[in-house]
C-alpha cells in the first residue's frame, strides 16, 4: 500500500529545511519527470500544447516547455501573466531560448494542464471554465500536472475539471485525487520524485492507497484439515431473500467451509448451501442486513448481540438498533445513502448525499473517531475502508459493479473471511480488493455483469 497525504506543502518545506534542497531544485525534478514520461511513452507524437497558470503549477509547465523544446513542436500558452517568483524565473528562461508562446490554444497531439494544480482555492471563473471546456473537447493525449485543474484540495469539482488521461503528481499521493468525483478526471496516476526518493520525502500517514498485493486470498496451505477448519458462516435472509442467497453463494466460493442461510421460510437453495431457522451452534461469523426488509426487532437484536464476528449491511443502517452494537468489532458496508442515515442515527451529522460525497473522508473520520472498534466500508467509485484513525482507499472500482446484487456479493466475501478467522479490517480490505479486481477482469460488455459472473471471476483470482 502507498501513503496518501491531505497536503504536501509541509513535505516540500521539510525538503528545504532538512535536506537543503531549494524550490528551484524541486521544480526542476517535477518538470523533468513529466518530460521523461513524454519522451519515453509519447515519442511518436509531434506537437505539444502546455497550458499554464500564473503560479507554481504554471511554472512547472513553463519549465517543461524548455525541457522538451528540442524534441517536440512545443507551444506554450499562458492563461495569465506569471505571478509567483518561480513562474517569473522560469518565464525568463524560456524567453532566452525563444520558445514559442501562443495567444490561442489548438488541438495538439499532447496537452499538458498546468493551470492550477493543488493551489485551486476558489470556484473557476467563466474564462477558465471555457478554457477547460475547450481543452476537454480536443482529441489529444491529456496530461495533468500534479492534479487536474478544477479539482480543489478537498477533491471537489465546483463546475468543471480537466479530463486527463494521466495525472503525474509530485512527491506523494494527495487525498484530493481519490474523491469519487475525481475519478472521472484523474486517469492513471503516477507519483514522481522531487529531488529525494519517495520514502524519504514522505512521513508517517493515516491514509493509504491499496495495491493489488494487499489482497491476502484464503489459500489453503494446511493439508490436515476438514470443512470445519474453514469456518461456518450464517447469512440471515429477510424479505428480499435473493440478497441473502447471493451473499451465501459468494461466501462459499471464497473459501468458507460451511455456509447456512438463516430463514424461517423454506428456501430453494443450491445443494451446497444449507438452511437453518436459527443461528447455528457452530457458527463462526454472521452476515446480516442484505435484503432484510421488515423484521422482528427482538429476534434481530439477539442475533446482533451474539459474540460472533459480523458483517452488517443495508436495511439495518436505517434502524436505531444498529447503535446498540457499535462497540463491537464489526464490519459495516453502507452505500452513501445508508451512511448518511447511519450518521444521523448516531448523532454525528445530518447531511445530504451531496455534502457527504463532497467530504467522504471527513465523515468517515468523524464516525470512526466515535466508534473506533468498527470497520467501515463506504462504497463508491473509490471505496473507503476505515477503522479508528486509519483510512484505506480501494481505487480499483468501476461502473461494472453498478448493478443490483454487487453489494450482496461483497457482504458474502467479507463474511466468508470473518468466518475463516480473518480480523475485521483484514476481511474488509481483502474482500473489497477481490470484489473490484474480479469485476476488473470481467471481459464482457461493462453493462452486462450479474452476481454469478462476479462470483465466478473472484473464484479465478
pLDDT score of 294 more than 90: no
CATH of the domain at 319: 3.40.1190.20
Residues 345 and 400 both lie in one domain: yes
Q: What is 232-288 written as a DSSP string?
A: EEEEE--SSHHHHHHHHHHHHHTT-SEEEEE-SS-----TTSEEESS--TT--EEEE
β 331-332/310-312 pair status:
parallel
Residues 61 and 201 both lie in one domain: yes
| Position with higher pLDDT, 11 vs 119 | 11
* 338-372 residue pLDDT tens: 999 999 999 999 999 999 999 999 999 999 999 99
Residues 315 and 253 both lie in one domain: yes
Residue 295's pLDDT band (cuts 50, 70, 90): confident
The helix-helix angle for 56-68 and 85-96 (nearest 10°) equals 20
Residue 366 marked ligand-binding: no
- Residue 102 structural domain: 2-205
Residue 146 marked ligand-binding: yes
Where is average pLDDT lowest: 111-125, 271-285, 373-387? 111-125
Residues 219 and 176 both lie in one domain: no
Q: Give dist(CA 233, CA 416) in Å, integer.
A: 6
Last residue of a domain, one of 169, 187, 205: 205
Q: How many CA atoms lie within 13 A of 158 on its CB side?
A: 14
Residue 327 marked ligand-binding: no
Q: Which residue has the cell 478537498?
A: 154
Residues 387 and 259 both lie in one domain: yes
CB 359 within 8 A of CB 404: no
Residue 257 marked ligand-binding: no
Q: What's the whole-number average pLDDT of the chain?
A: 95
pLDDT score of 223 more than 90: no
Residue 242 marked ligand-binding: no
Last residue of a domain, one of 205, 229, 253: 205
Last residue of a domain, one of 147, 178, 205: 205
pLDDT score of 157 more than 80: yes
Residue 60 marked ligand-binding: yes
Residues 343 and 434 both lie in one domain: yes
Residues 225 and 200 both lie in one domain: no
Residue 421 marked ligand-binding: no
Furthest-apart CA atoms within the chain: distance in Å: 83
Residue 231 marked ligand-binding: no
Residues 339 and 448 both lie in one domain: yes
pLDDT score of 247 more than 80: yes
Residues 95 and 239 both lie in one domain: no
Residues 169 and 287 both lie in one domain: no
Bridge partners, residue 91, by sequence: none
Q: Give dist(CA 30, CA 48) in Å, integer.
A: 18
Q: CB under 8 Å to 431, separation ≥6 — which residues?
A: 254, 410, 413, 414, 416, 417
Residue 311's pLDDT band (cuts 50, 70, 90): very high
* 170-201 residue pLDDT tens: 999 999 999 999 999 999 999 999 999 999 99
pTM to 2 decimals? 0.94
Q: Give dist(CA 96, CA 93) in Å, integer.
A: 5
* 250-267 residue pLDDT tens: 999 999 999 999 998 999
Cell of 143: 496530461
Residue 56 marked ligand-binding: yes
pLDDT of residue 365: 98
CATH of the domain at 60: 3.40.50.10260
Q: Mean per-residue pLDDT for 8-30?
A: 95
Q: Give dist(CA 112, CA 52) in Å, integer.
A: 9
Residue 57 marked ligand-binding: yes
Residues 264 and 229 both lie in one domain: yes
Q: What is the dihedral of CA 62, 66, 69, 73, to 10 degrees?
A: 0
Residues 140 and 270 both lie in one domain: no
Residue 223 marked ligand-binding: no
Residue 117 marked ligand-binding: yes
Residue 3 marked ligand-binding: no
β 2-5/173-174 pair status:
parallel
How many domains in the chain?
2
Residue 139 marked ligand-binding: no
Amino acid at each position: 500500500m502507498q501513503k496518501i497525504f491531505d497536503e504536501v506543502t509541509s513535505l516540500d518545506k521539510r525538503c528545504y529545511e532538512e535536506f537543503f534542497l531549494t524550490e528551484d531544485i524541486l521544480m526542476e525534478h517535477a518538470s523533468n519527470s513529466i518530460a521523461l514520461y513524454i519522451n519515453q511513452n509519447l515519442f511518436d507524437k509531434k506537437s505539444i500544447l502546455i497550458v499554464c497558470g500564473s503560479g507554481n503549477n504554471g511554472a512547472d509547465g513553463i519549465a517543461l516547455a524548455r525541457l522538451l523544446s528540442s524534441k517536440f513542436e512545443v507551444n506554450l500558452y499562458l492563461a495569465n501573466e506569471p505571478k509567483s517568483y518561480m513562474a517569473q524565473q522560469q518565464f525568463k528562461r524560456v524567453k532566452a531560448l525563444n520558445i514559442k508562446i501562443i495567444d490561442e490554444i489548438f488541438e495538439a497531439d499532447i496537452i499538458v494542464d498546468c493551470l492550477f494544480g493543488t493551489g485551486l482555492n476558489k470556484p473557476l471563473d467563466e474564462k477558465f471554465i471555457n478554457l477547460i471546456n475547450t481543452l476537454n473537447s480536443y482529441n489529444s493525449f491529456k496530461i495533468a500536472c500534479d492534479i487536474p485543474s478544477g479539482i480543489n484540495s478537498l477533491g471537489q469539482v465546483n463546475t468543471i475539471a480537466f479530463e486527463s488521461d494521466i495525472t503525474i503528481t509530485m512527491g506523494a499521493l494527495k487525498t484530493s485525487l481519490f474523491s469519487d468525483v475525481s475519478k472521472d478526471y484523474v486517469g492513471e496516476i503516477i507519483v514522481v520524485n522531487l529531488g529525494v526518493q519517495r520514502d524519504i520525502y514522505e512521513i508517517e500517514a493515516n491514509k493509504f492507497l491499496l495495491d493489488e498485493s494487499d489482497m491476502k486470498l484464503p489459500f489453503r496451505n494446511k493439508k490436515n484439515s476438514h470443512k470445519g477448519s474453514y469456518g461456518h458462516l450464517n447469512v440471515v435472509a429477510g424479505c428480499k431473500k435473493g440478497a441473502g442467497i447471493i451473499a451465501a453463494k459468494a461466501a462459499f466460493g471464497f473459501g468458507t467451509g460451511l455456509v447456512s442461510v438463516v430463514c424461517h421460510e423454506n428456501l430453494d437453495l443450491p445443494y451446497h448451501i444449507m438452511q437453518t431457522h436459527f443461528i447455528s451452534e457452530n457458527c463462526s461469523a454472521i452476515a446480516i442486513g442484505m435484503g432484510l426488509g421488515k423484521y422482528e426487532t427482538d429476534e434481530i437484536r439477539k442475533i446482533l448481540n451474539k459474540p460472533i464476528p459480523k458483517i452488517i449491511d443495508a436495511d439495518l443502517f436505517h434502524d436505531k438498533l444498529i447503535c446498540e452494537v457499535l462497540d463491537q468489532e464489526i464490519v459495516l458496508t453502507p452505500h452513501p445513502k445508508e451512511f448518511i442515515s447511519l450518521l444521523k442515527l448516531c448523532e454525528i451529522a445530518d447531511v445530504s448525499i451531496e455534502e457527504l460525497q463532497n467530504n467522504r473522508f471527513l465523515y468517515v473520520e468523524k464516525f470512526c473517531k466515535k466508534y473506533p472498534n468498527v470497520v467501515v466500508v463506504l462504497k463508491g467509485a473509490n471505496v473507503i475502508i476505515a477503522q479508528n484513525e486509519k483510512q484505506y482507499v480501494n481505487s480499483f472500482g468501476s461502473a461494472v459493479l453498478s448493478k443490483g446484487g454487487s453489494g450482496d456479493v461483497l457482504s458474502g466475501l467479507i463474511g466468508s473471511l470473518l468466518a475463516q478467522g480473518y480480523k475485521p479490517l483484514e476481511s474488509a480490505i481483502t474482500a473489497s480488493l477481490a470484489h473490484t479486481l474480479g469485476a476488473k477482469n470481467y471481459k464482457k460488455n461493462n453493462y452486462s455483469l450479474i452476481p454469478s459472473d462476479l462470483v465466478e471471476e473472484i473464484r479465478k483470482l
